[in-house]
Amino acid sequence: MCSYGVCFNGGHCREGSTQLCDCLAGFNGPSCQYDVNECEETNGGCEALCSNTIGSFYCRCPPGQKLNEEGKTCQGQWIFFLMLIEAMAYLTSAANYPQNYYRRICYRPHCYHGYNGHRHSPPAADIDECQVHNGGCQHRCVNTRGSYRCECHPGSRMHVDGRTCI
């Protein structure tokens, strides 16, 4: 039996169901009490930046670009460069241009983890995490695009922490 105040955020009570409420888009939970973070899955469909709001989300663009009318893609001074990098990724080996290489282009403070850039110099420069305290690795630190990994000397093996050798 439905009672007043069971469903939140515009949800409608459903009689005789284990799920108490039918929730509007952007909310979930038995009483529609939880906001769905649309940006966590596929970046909300946004080409660049996704901002979650209560019950919804919106797409944003880096400085120097503007959002197209459909509200998902950006246009501006770097759009040709982005398309060029994306095309190069298809024409060269995956080892040279990993999947989604164009995402490595960024504008501070909107860089993906492991990259550093600014408005006037795309593509973003890779941060060499191994330069500071050997990346936290006990033995050897190997820098990779957008990240790094620790390796052990021969005769040792990696501890589950991914940094210590035993």
Per-residue pLDDT, 124: 52
CA–CA gap between residue 42 and residue 25 (Å, rounded): 17
CA atoms 58, 61, 67, 71: torsion sign:
negative
Across the chain, which has 166 residues, the per-10-residue mean pLDDT values are 77 75 89 89 89 90 86 70 47 41 45 49 63 87 83 90 85
CA–CA gap between residue 112 and residue 103 (Å, rounded): 8
Per-residue pLDDT, 57: 92
Q: For residue 60, what is the enclosing H or E element?
A: strand 56-60
Per-residue pLDDT, 6: 82
> Helices H, strands E: what count in the chain?
1, 12
Nearest one of 147, 153, 150 to 134, comparing CA atoms: 150
Per-residue pLDDT, 137: 87
The domains of the chain, with CATH numbers, are: 1-36 (2.10.25), 40-74 (2.10.25.10), 78-126 (no CATH)
